[in-house]
Structures are given as structure tokens and as C-alpha cells.
Amino acid sequence: MAPMWTFALVRLAGILLLGLFLGLIFGSPWLWVVLAASAYLAWQLSNLYRLDRWLRRRSQLAPPAIGGIWGDIISQVVRLHRRKRFHKQQLVQLFRELRKSTAALPDGVIILSGQREILWFNRPAGRLLGLKRPIDIGLRIDNLIRAPEFAGYLQGEDFSVPLVIRPSIRLDQYLALQLVPYGPGQSLLLARDVTRQMRLEAMRQDFVANASHELRTPLTVISGYLDTLAEDAGLDRAWEGPVRDMRAQAQRMNAIIADLLELSRLESADGEAPREPIDVPAMLERLRTDALSRTEPPRVISLEIATARWLYGAASEVESAFTNLLVNALKYTPVEGSVQMRWWADGDAACFSVIDTGIGIPAEHIPRLTERFYRVDPGRSRDQGGSGLGLAIVKHALQRHGGWLDVESSEGKGSTFTCHFPPQRVYERG
């Protein structure tokens, strides 16, 4: 027990004994004990009143001079108050520095509540999004940024990738918006002007598309003459090998141009893919038949249809993605190996997998497989006639359908490429 409490109990016992002693002298001892206890209680209530009055008007009154346990309590309250004031000053200073540093950022920063209401924003955010103080404070951000894709972004759960929109206040501008949760129910909305990057990307896409179109015509002429020379019975034997090699390279260039045009079309397409019913099982049966007709295919090419579900989407884009995955598996699987296609359900979603027993892919290359012209083994890929664009086409086709590509591979043991389609793209036939 603390010394102050011991002293308080001893004092109470002393007062009661004093009352008993006076009662023995003057008579009626219990009356004197009650009077002594009442006097002690009145004194304590007086101290309690003084403490309460000081706590209510602490900024105006000095701490009351009370001894004993009450003085100790007042001292603790004073220490707690000073400590709280010190920490409050530190927090205020930290908040001021944070606001100054945030205001100095070139990107827009908006603090949102759990209900997506604006609590604070810096000047770049006001300039980029047309926000004004104080009228926009407390309003929901999705009521001020009127874009359907932004409303859908806020309702999602994955904020790892920014959303690029064109604000209604300036249609010639592109903004990248990213939500960053940082506390219970609170989040930051970061806004960045990416107009220059988007324009450069558009210029790159236009250049690739235009260059591919311009190359297609002369390449068609060259291929035509090479085909004519190859079929000419009077062609000197010394030219048969070079002409054959030139035809192969011309075909490879045609394939690269076709892939470039397909990739440019997917990249330039706005929004999601259309919602047309796609008979996926029939499509896969056709792809398997085409695979079996190839020269020296793997020993086993199997197809497993584990669900009768169809898809909503663009049939040409889905078939392009599936074909690229199947062709890759056939290229890098030896004749004695096997390739399996699998169409299966994953809860309410649907998945397509291509499983091969080919050469496999080293783990360090897997994150970069969908980059344009990226090759794990450049020499072998060129020998196989690959363009290096197939998996990039797969990625963009899946993104247009709200899906994604998952890759699992072990070097020397084979690979598994899986296309995941969300439930909203699944067509349940009645």
C-alpha cells in the first residue's frame, strides 16, 4: 500500500479514536464517534468540491493547496495534463509539417473518411480535380469525380494498380488515381497527371500500327515473288536453298506483323470486351483438331472439358489468347511429351489451362513473360519462329475480359499457363 494511503487510514483511525475519547469524557461515546466521522466526511467533500471546481476551470484557476491523498491526486493530474499538452503540441507540430510536406508534393493528395468523404486535400489535388475549399470538404469523392470506372474502382478491393481516367473538367488530360488505405476506415487518394506518358504511349501504338501496315504491302509483294520463284521448275538448284530460307523469313515477318497489328488493336480498344456468348468447349475441340494436324506434334494432345460453361466476350480475342498458349506449349514440348488443355470451373469463375511437359521456364523469367518481345531463350525462340508477342497478346486479351494469366513452371519439368475469367464473364447455359 502507498504511504499516502497508509497515512490517510491512520488519520481516519485517529479521528475516530479522538471522538471515542471525547465521548468517554463527556458521555455518549457513539454520538461523538458519529460527529467525528461526519466532520471527516465534510472535510473530504470540501476537498472533492475544490478538486472538481479546479478540473472544470483548470485553465483559469491554480491547483488547490490540499495536503494528503488529495494533494497527491492533484499532483498526478497536473503531471498527466502537462504530458498530454506536450504530446498534443508534438502532434500538432507533426501534423503541420505533414501538411506542409504534402502540400509541396507535385501530386494530388486527398484524405478520405471511411464513407469516402473528403477530409482534406492539397493544392495540386484541387488543381487537378477541380476541388475547392471549403465547399467540397465533407462531400463524397465519387460525387465530385463523375466517372463510372472510378466508382467501380472505389467499390473494388484491389488498389495495387492505379486507375487512369480523363476528368470531365479537362478532356485533354489523363489522371492516374490510386487509393491507399492507411488506417481504420481511412484512405489516401493520390492523383497524378500522366498526360505526357499517355500521349507517348499513344504515339508508340500509332507508330507500331502504322509501321506494321506499311510493311505488310511490300512484304506481301516480296512473298509473292518468292513463292513464284520456288514454284519455277527452271530455277537454278543453287538458288533453291536461299529461296527457301527467304520464304521462311518472309513468313516469320508476316507472323510478327500480324501479331503487332493484333496487339495494337487490343491496346487501342477502349473499355471492356463485348458480351457475346462464346461456346468455349466447341472452340477448344477445334483448337485440338488443329494441333493434331501440325507437323510432328507431341505424342499426346488431350482436352478435358470439366464444365459446360460458356463465356461472355469477344470470340476472336479469346480464341487468339487460347491459340497463343497452345502454340507455345506445342513449340517447346518434345515429340515424346504431352500437352493437355483443360476447361474447368473455379467456384463461380471459369479457367482455361494449358499443361505441358516441355522444357519449362526458370523462375526468374516468369514475371517478365508477358512483356513485348521478351524471350527466355532468344536463340531457341527465333529457331522456333516465335515473335515474342504471343503472351503479351494473351495478357491484353484477358484484361479486356476482366481476367488474368497465372504461370507455374519448373525448369526441365514443364509449365502450366492458366487463364482466369471472373464470374461476371461466365455464361451459365440453361
Question: What are the residue ranges spanned by the domains of the chain?
Answer: 3-99, 105-193, 207-268, 276-427
**C-beta separation of 33 from 13 below 8 A:** no
User: What pLDDT is recorded for position 245?
Assistant: 85
For the segment 312-327, the average pLDDT, to the nearest whole number, is: 92
Task: Report the candidate in 127, 104, 137 with the shortest Cα–Cα distance to residue 173.
Answer: 127
Fold of 105-193: Beta-Lactamase (3.30.450)
**C-beta separation of 356 from 337 below 8 A:** yes
Task: Report the candidate in 413, 409, 414 with the shortest Cα–Cα distance to residue 366.
Answer: 409
Average pLDDT, the chain: 83
**C-beta separation of 32 from 23 below 8 A:** yes
- CATH architecture, domain defined by 276-427: 2-Layer Sandwich (3.30)
User: What pLDDT is recorded for position 315?
Assistant: 92
| pLDDT confidence bin for 430, thresholds 50/70/90 | low
For the segment 354-361, the average pLDDT, to the nearest whole number, is: 91
pLDDT tens-digit map of 256-295? 788 777 777 777 766 678 889 999 999 999 999 999 988 8
Angle between helices 3-26 and 68-103 (to 10 degrees): 150
User: What pLDDT is recorded for position 165?
Assistant: 85
Q: CA 184, 188, 190: angle at the middle one, nearest 5? A: 160
User: What pLDDT is recorded for position 280?
Assistant: 94
Name, in order, each residue with C-beta under 8 angstroms of 78's C-beta and a sequence gap of 6 or more.
Answer: 63
User: What pLDDT is recorded for position 80?
Assistant: 84
User: What pLDDT is recorded for position 350?
Assistant: 94
Helix (H, G, I), strand (E, B) or coil at 213: helix
For the segment 376-387, the average pLDDT, to the nearest whole number, is: 56
Q: Which of 206-215, 245-254, 407-416 has the lowest mean pLDDT?
A: 206-215
Q: Is the pLDDT of residue 239 over 90?
A: no
228, three cell numbers: 513464284
Helix (H, G, I), strand (E, B) or coil at 363: helix
pLDDT tens-digit map of 144-176? 888 888 888 888 777 878 888 887 767 778 899
Burial of 30 per CB tally in 10 Å (0-12, 13-18, 19+): exposed
Q: Is the pLDDT of residue 2 over 70?
A: no
Full-model pTM: 0.57
Residue 163 pairs in a beta bridge with 177
213, three cell numbers: 501496315
**C-beta separation of 119 from 113 below 8 A:** yes
Q: Is the pLDDT of residue 385 over 60?
A: no
| pLDDT confidence bin for 58, thresholds 50/70/90 | confident
First to last CA, the chain: 79
Q: Which of 307-311, 383-387, 407-411 has the lowest mean pLDDT?
A: 383-387
For the segment 118-141, the average pLDDT, to the nearest whole number, is: 89
